[in-house]
């Protein structure tokens, strides 16, 4: 059982995925708070060299390290559809907490609920099922993931469970205003400048149903905006009346590119990203492209989306 693996471990490594979001980091930080009670050695690991500063309000943000420890007894991953999201390789026994439809169940224990709106919802359910007391820090961390993955409770997937969990977490001390302020209301000048540029250059394809953004290195360098800020712009494109899907290619400084697909749910983004070793959810998915496949992959994906719309 997952709890007996945790009980028997002396050193537990908590894994946040590369390019972390509030869901992965919030889940890991909540679990970190819980495990602090057990007097075990803990490592809060994320392979990314830099972390999105908009997540600095989460408890234990300063404890996150990109150095994977040489020794440990078990690992727990959060919000990782595959172990490629870790950015490291390790054969330690693993507990996999996730909600991605594309999760390949790579753990020794897989606590995966594809119907959950966030991984923090899965972690919350685990805490409740095991009568684990939720303190203020845990509640804030879990609420941040719930808020972010539900797009500030605007996603169609929000249901009675989402709001019941939100209510419970607020009761345990989560601070709604703080989460909204850090995750939604704050925008850098750089991102506003880039937003103008990207919307001006956006291509509208497939009879207005697909918005395509081609983000080049110069876009990021000239504006100073970050990749997470680009993704907010992509999500905004879905607000247009006719747009059912948004596709963004972001060129990577070390070659290759990142692809992000967002949909209104009428087509399955994770299915479209699957042939490119990507994954995600119905509404959003991503993949990493190698240098030589950048353009062909974009053309192919646009064709796949076209077929879905017919
Ligand atoms: Mn998530």
38 C-alpha to ligand 1 centroid (Å)? 27
> Whole-angstrom Cα distance, residue 237 to residue 284?
13
- Fold classified for 2-185: inorganic pyrophosphatase (n-terminal core) (3.90.1640)
Alpha helix (H) ranges present in 186-310?
A: 189-201, 217-223, 227-237, 269-273, 294-309
23 C-alpha to ligand 1 centroid (Å)? 5
- Give the pLDDT score at 275: 93
**Residues, CB within 5 angstroms of ligand 1 (ion):** 23, 79, 119, 149
The domain 189-309: what is its CATH number? Answer: 3.10.310.30
pLDDT tens digits in sequence order for the chain, 310 residues long: 889 999 999 999 999 999 999 999 999 999 999 999 998 999 999 999 999 889 999 999 999 999 999 999 999 999 999 999 999 999 999 999 999 988 999 999 999 999 999 999 999 999 999 999 999 999 999 999 999 999 999 988 899 999 999 999 999 999 999 999 999 988 899 999 999 999 999 999 999 999 999 999 999 999 999 888 999 999 999 999 999 999 999 998 888 999 999 999 999 999 999 999 888 889 999 999 988 888 899 999 999 999 998 7
In the chain, CATH 3.10.310.30 sits at 189-309
47 C-alpha to ligand 1 centroid (Å)? 17
148 C-alpha to ligand 1 centroid (Å)? 8
Q: How many helices (H) and strands (E) does the chain have?
A: 11, 12
121 C-alpha to ligand 1 centroid (Å)? 9
Ramachandran quadrant class, 257 (left: phi over 0; alpha: psi -120 to 50; beta: rest): beta
- Give the pLDDT score at 158: 95
194 C-alpha to ligand 1 centroid (Å)? 25
The structure tokens listed for 166 are 């939100």
- Give the pLDDT score at 20: 94
222 C-alpha to ligand 1 centroid (Å)? 30
- Give the pLDDT score at 17: 97
Q: Let me know: does 126 contact 164? Beta carbons within 8 Å.
A: no
Alpha helix (H) ranges present in 71-135?
A: 119-129
Q: Let me know: does 67 contact 5? Beta carbons within 8 Å.
A: no
Quick one: which of 300, 207, 205 has its CA closest to 246? Answer: 205
286 C-alpha to ligand 1 centroid (Å)? 12
155 C-alpha to ligand 1 centroid (Å)? 13
In the three-class reduction of DSSP (H, G, I as helix; E, B as strand; rest coil), residue 4 is classed as: helix
146 C-alpha to ligand 1 centroid (Å)? 8
207 C-alpha to ligand 1 centroid (Å)? 31
133 C-alpha to ligand 1 centroid (Å)? 23
- Give the pLDDT score at 186: 86
In the chain, CATH 3.90.1640.10 sits at 2-185
- Give the pLDDT score at 178: 98
120 C-alpha to ligand 1 centroid (Å)? 8
190 C-alpha to ligand 1 centroid (Å)? 26
In this prediction the pTM is: 0.88
24 C-alpha to ligand 1 centroid (Å)? 6
Q: How many CB atoms lie within 10 A of CB 186?
A: 11
20 C-alpha to ligand 1 centroid (Å)? 10
17 C-alpha to ligand 1 centroid (Å)? 10
- Give the pLDDT score at 293: 87
């Amino acid at each position: 059982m997952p709890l007996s693996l945790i009980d028997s471990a002396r050193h537990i490594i908590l894994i946040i995925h590369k390019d972390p979001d509030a869901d992965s980091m919030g889940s890991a930080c909540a679990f970190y708070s819980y495990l602090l009670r057990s007097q075990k050695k803990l490592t809060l690991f994320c392979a990314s060299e830099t972390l999105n500063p908009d997540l600095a309000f989460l408890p234990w943000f300063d404890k996150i390290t990109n150095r994977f420890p040489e020794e440990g007894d078990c690992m727990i991953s959060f919000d990782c559809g595959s172990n490629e999201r870790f950015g490291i390789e390790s054969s330690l026994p693993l507990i996999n907490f996730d909600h991605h439809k594309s999760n390949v169940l790579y753990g020794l224990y897989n606590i995966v609920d594809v119907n959950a709106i966030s991984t923090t919802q899965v972690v919350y359910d685990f805490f409740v099922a095991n009568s684990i007391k939720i303190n203020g820090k845990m509640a804030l961390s879990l609420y941040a993931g719930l808020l972010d993955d539900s797009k500030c409770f605007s996603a169609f997937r929000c249901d009675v469970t989402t709001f019941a969990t939100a209510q419970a977490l607020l009761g345990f001390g989560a601070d709604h205003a703080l989460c909204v302020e850090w995750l939604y209301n704050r925008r850098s000048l750089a991102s506003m400048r880039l937003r103008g540029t990207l919307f001006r250059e956006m291509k509208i394809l497939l009879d207005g149903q697909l918005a395509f953004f081609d983000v080049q290195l110069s876009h990021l360098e000239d504006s100073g905006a970050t990749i997470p800020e680009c993704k907010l712009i992509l999500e905004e494109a879905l607000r247009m009346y006719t747009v059912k899907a948004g596709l963004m290619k972001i060129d990577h400084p070390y070659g290759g590119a990142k692809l992000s697909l967002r949909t209104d749910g009428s087509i399955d983004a994770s299915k479209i990203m699957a042939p490119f070793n990507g994954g995600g959810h119905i509404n959003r998915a991503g993949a990493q492209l190698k240098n030589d496949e950048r353009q062909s992959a974009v053309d192919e994906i646009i064709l796949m989306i076209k077929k879905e719309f017919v």
